[in-house]
Structures are given as structure tokens and as C-alpha cells.
């Protein structure tokens, strides 16, 4: 089931690194502002081996426009690996709609790339007590991660756990308790670069 439930501000961020380069192989990161934070850093780590592009959006995977927005990017390049994440937005959308929409999207993307992978959503901390996880919002992150992990297993997708390393080092979070410091983004970029190298044997 598709939805048209929107946040007050909706946005899309698309980036092709080394755009004139038609020879290098490419990886696509799909996600939200977390990807915006570490995507270019991951490219900088890997640029001697592969280009890393990103498609980031505030839209939830159930959004009726999610697929068409993404198609604009997929039509421009072929990708050796697509690393998909979605789930930190859309908190006004019923959780029971998430698994079916995610499964449909992942099944379609699996046809579009030699390797499709899932990256877990990162934690949300409590602004009143940043040493703790947010008691209202973080349980939904965990539910969505669990749904995604189950679907990834059924589809045979490799997965990158970015939740656990971030939950274990809360000093990497920025003051808004959702995003990350420069050091946190660097850590995420390294995790991602290592994962890409393992998956593509580069």
C-alpha cells in the first residue's frame, strides 16, 4: 500500500561523484540524511577503486513517489552494488505498512544490480538524557530494523549493521541525538568502505 503522508519539509539529495567518469564501476547508497553525512566521505575512501554515489530522501519507502524519484537516478548509471536503507522518517506512517513496501522495493532493486544489500537504521538518543536511547522513537527503529533484517534474509541479501556500533558509542552523536559528529560520520564511512570492499572483493 502506497501513502501520500508527508512531513512538513520533504527533500531529495542526489549526488554523482566524478560524474564525467564513464569507465569506473559504481556503488549507490540509498538512505536519508545519515547517508548525506557519510556518503562523500565513503567515496573519498574508495575513489581509487570505485565511485560511490548517493540518493537520499526524507520520503518513507511507502511513499507513492519514492520509486519514481529513485528511478531518475537509476536511469543514469549502472551500479555494481546498491546499499539500501530507509526507516528513520515516516513516523506518522503505521508500522504494519513498512514490511510489504520494503519487500517490494528490495525485490525490484535486486533485479537492477549484481549485489543488493541492506544497511540498518542508526539509533535515536533521548535529548533529555543523551546517554540513553529515546524511549519513544528508538523502539520503532528497532522494529523496522528487525522487519528489514527478516526480509533481507528471505531475499538472500548481505547486511551492514550500523546500528550496533553507533549505539555502543553515543559520543559520536551530534546534539540533535539523531545525526552524527564529524568523527561519527568518519566511523560510518569506514564501516561502509570496508563492507563495500568485502562485497566487491576490491
Q: What's the CA gap between 46 and 199, in Å, rounded? A: 13
80-95 pLDDT tens trace: 999 999 999 999 999 9
- The pLDDT score that the predictor gives to residue 3 is 86
Count: domains in the chain: 1
Task: Determine, yes or no, domain membership for 83.
Answer: yes
* CA angle centred on 65, ends 60 and 69, rounded to 5°: 100
117-170 pLDDT tens trace: 999 999 999 999 999 999 999 999 999 999 999 999 999 999 999 999 999 999
Task: Determine, yes or no, domain membership for 144.
Answer: yes
Question: What is the pTM assigned to this prediction?
Answer: 0.96
- The pLDDT score that the predictor gives to residue 6 is 87
Task: Determine, yes or no, domain membership for 7.
Answer: no
The yes-or-no verdict on residue 1 having pLDDT over 80 is no
In this prediction, residues 68-85 reach a mean pLDDT of 97
Amino acid at each position: 500500500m502506497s501513502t501520500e503522508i508527508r512531513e512538513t519539509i520533504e527533500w531529495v539529495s542526489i549526488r554523482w561523484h566524478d560524474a564525467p567518469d564513464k569507465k569506473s564501476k559504481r556503488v549507490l547508497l540509498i538512505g536519508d540524511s545519515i547517508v548525506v553525512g557519510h556518503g562523500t566521505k565513503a567515496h573519498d575512501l574508495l575513489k581509487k577503486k570505485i565511485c560511490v554515489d548517493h540518493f537520499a530522501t526524507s520520503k518513507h519507502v511507502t511513499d507513492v513517489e519514492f520509486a519514481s524519484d529513485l528511478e531518475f537516478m537509476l536511469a543514469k548509471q549502472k551500479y555494481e552494488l546498491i546499499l539500501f536503507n530507509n526507516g528513520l522518517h515516516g513516523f506518522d506512517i503505521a508500522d504494519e505498512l513498512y514490511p510489504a513496501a520494503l519487500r517490494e522495493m528490495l525485490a525490484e532493486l535486486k533485479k537492477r544490480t549484481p549485489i543488493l544489500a541492506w544497511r540498518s537504521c542508526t539509533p535515536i538518543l533521548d535529548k533529555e538524557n543523551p546517554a540513553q536511547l529515546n524511549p519513544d522513537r528508538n523502539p520503532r527503529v528497532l522494529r523496522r530494523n528487525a522487519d528489514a533484517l527478516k526480509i533481507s534474509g528471505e531475499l538472500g541479501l548481505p547486511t551492514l549493521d550500523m546500528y550496533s556500533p553507533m549505539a555502543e558509542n553515543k559520543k559520536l552523536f551530534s546534539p540533535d541525538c539523531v545525526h552524527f559528529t564529524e568523527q561519527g560520520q568518519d566511523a560510518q564511512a569506514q564501516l561502509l568502505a570496508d563492507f563495500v570492499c568485502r562485497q566487491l572483493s576490491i
